[in-house]
Structure 1
């Protein structure tokens, strides 16, 4: 081939699709600066901000959202699919694409269909333990199918793990603990609970953690709590002089530092979150979203099976649960160390490189 390989990545909408897409892009770029990498997205997704910020070319296609329930809008889907596939097919031709890699969602489906009609091989990556519709269709059309969690029910799925940012996958928590705790104004030696509910925060986690603030800090446990940028009403009264800190921030810009500062996390169990925590060996109490099709509970299951975390239902999480279940762990260094070892055993730190191997093999075939 007398030109660089052209790799097209389709994964817009939410961070759960975009972050693994960008981690793969970074892994491909480390292999060769001559690779042509193009990301597909839509005008309404987070990719319009995140992809250019990471230095990648973003091309926009019409979205094809699929109604979750049978409504009159379902009748419009075939027409939308045809229009989007036609535009995506023209774009793939313009890019002389050698391979299309999809991460699911309403950006991936037209990319899969356009690639199939153009004779371009497809690689599918599924982040969740329970696949979505786009990837269930894409898996039937793909040359290779990669999954994050073992046992994911997807046609011909190969377990490769989650592609993660190198800042996460290469994190040495112990080596960066002192730096991280200084950065957040935490004590260098106290056990630390990290609370976060995704980029927007989570009301259930916010209420429970704030309600348990006195019990935690009185027992010598400090807290780093990301409440979400819109949740400015979530506050904690000033701690008594000499007591354990309770630090509230709107958003965590550097998750790797937050992971390094913490001994245990209280969080949702989105696919990327679970993969990051296990890759860095940080145990967690997972609180699956109470809506959806149950994929968050499934995401956490491999870590739970390995003994690297706990699970509590959203309706059961309250200050009393934190005091009864998490406080004894946080004040038991041996128990924390055991949980951390088991969490790390369930993690995959090189999912980006494993997926890059597959993509390069398919593209050059």
Structure 2
């Protein structure tokens, strides 16, 4: 017996989205990619997020730790100057694009998101004309990979205004939810205990990026006695390939050196002041959690790290010191007194409020899903 015709057709089951993120190499590329991945999973818990990377990047450790599958492709480093390596680049690009295209086909990619760097270029070229592309640029001056990708991207997102990419929409930098939701005061006691820091002493967090920075290591460690005499504790991430030898001072707050900070949320919660590089990701995180900062831009490159720090410095939330000026004497004379000045730190912390884009991860997630034909989800949970 046939069923009556009600005039209504059953809606087809909607396909779960598959998003491929290309953000390998450094933590500055990987962390925003992983923050986006987390946001996509909040928007669409049925989604699949796959990361592209190379065997030599930090992604081989960071991506699996975050619970996402990692597909390895050959890197395409971009020489800055004419070299014999530049002549071999077309062959390397061709091989990497071919292997990346095979990954996109195998996982059924609906959209590719690139964050710049040598993993993004082959991803853009492999996806061109086949899979929608979204480009995210963290710096004011885009690199060559994002300049190429933006030319045929469905959507372009930027961290800051004035980024010279066609159609760029300012969204900020995606940050992990543990950072944007961080209550530093509530976690302070736990964070201090976690690192073995003094529970009450003013504390400086010093780090130079995922690999450390020699100038920061030497300047901060060289001022250990000044920190001790002022009653200021230190949490110093010196980088996994570096070591820091610091003399112990009895009855002074601990100076705690660590190779790497697995829990940045606890590191930020433990600190009253940060001394750090001014990569785009670092500035965004420090601003988001409301920490006063002393920024030390990288002394080479196109000056983008100084530009990254400008908004915080202009707002009164941070200070800027050139790398060559950062000495143990500078730290002792400028950083130590600042760390001990709770009133000034409170004003700097208040000035940081509103500098960041706390919703950047979810804004970009919606943009990506829309580009891939899945722009109908609402954020669930957090």
TM-score, with normalisation over the residues of structure 1? 0.94
Aligned to 1:292: 301
Which of 246, 258, 261 is matched with 1:249 structurally?
Answer: 258
Match of 2:155 in 1: 144
Q: Does structure 2 retain, via aligned residues, the 8 Å contact 1:283–1:309?
A: yes
Q: 1:89 to 1:199 in 2, by over 3 A?
A: closer
Moved over 4 A (4+): none
Question: Which has more radius of gyration?
Answer: 2
Structure-1 residue corresponding to 2:78: 66
Secondary structure of 1:141's partner? coil
Please say if residues 207 and 318 of structure 1, whose CA atoms lie closer than 8 Å, have aligned partners that are also in contact: yes
Moved more, 47-56 or 250-259: 47-56
Cα distance in 2 for residues equivalent to 1:302 and 1:150: 11
Distance in 1, matches of 2:111 and 2:274, equals 38
CA positional deviation for 1:2: 4.1
What aligned pairs does 1:155-170 form with structure 2 within 5 A after superposition? Answer: 155-170=166-181
- Between 70-79 and 254-263, report the one with greater CA deviation: 70-79
Separation in 2, partners of 1:154, 1:140: 8
Aligned to 1:180: 191
1:1-365 matches, cutoff 5 A: 2-118=14-130, 120-232=131-243, 234-241=244-251, 243-364=252-373
Structure 1 residues 229 and 115: CA distance shift in structure 2, 3 A: closer
> What SS class does the counterpart of residue 372 from structure 2 fall into?
helix
Aligned length: 362
Instruction: Say if 2:43 and 2:365, in contact at 8 Å, map to a contact too.
Output: no
Inter-partner Cα distance in structure 2 for 1:124 and 1:37? 16
Q: CA RMSD in A?
A: 1.7
Matches of 1:319 and 1:47, distance apart in 2: 34
Secondary structure at the aligned position of 1:34 is classed as coil
Aligned partners of 1:124 and 1:135 also within 8 Å:
yes
Any gaps of 5 or more consecutive residues in structure 2? 1-12, 375-382
SS in structure 2 of the partner of residue 223 of structure 1? strand
Confirm or deny: 8 A CA contact 2:53 2:60 kept in the other structure: yes
Q: Contact 1:12–1:105 (CA<8 Å) still a contact in 2?
A: yes
- Contact 2:27 / 2:210 at 8 angstroms: preserved in 1? no
Displacement, 1:95? 2.6
Which secondary structure does the structure 2 equivalent of 1:256 belong to?
A: helix
Question: Could you tell which deviates more after superposition, 169-178 or 152-161?
Answer: 152-161
Which secondary structure state, in structure 2, belongs to the residue aligned with residue 33 of structure 1? coil
Map Cα deviations across residues 280-334 of structure 1 (whole Å, 9 max, x no partner): 1111111111122222112212211222101111100112212222233222212
Q: Aligned equivalents of 2:225 and 2:268: distance in 1?
A: 23
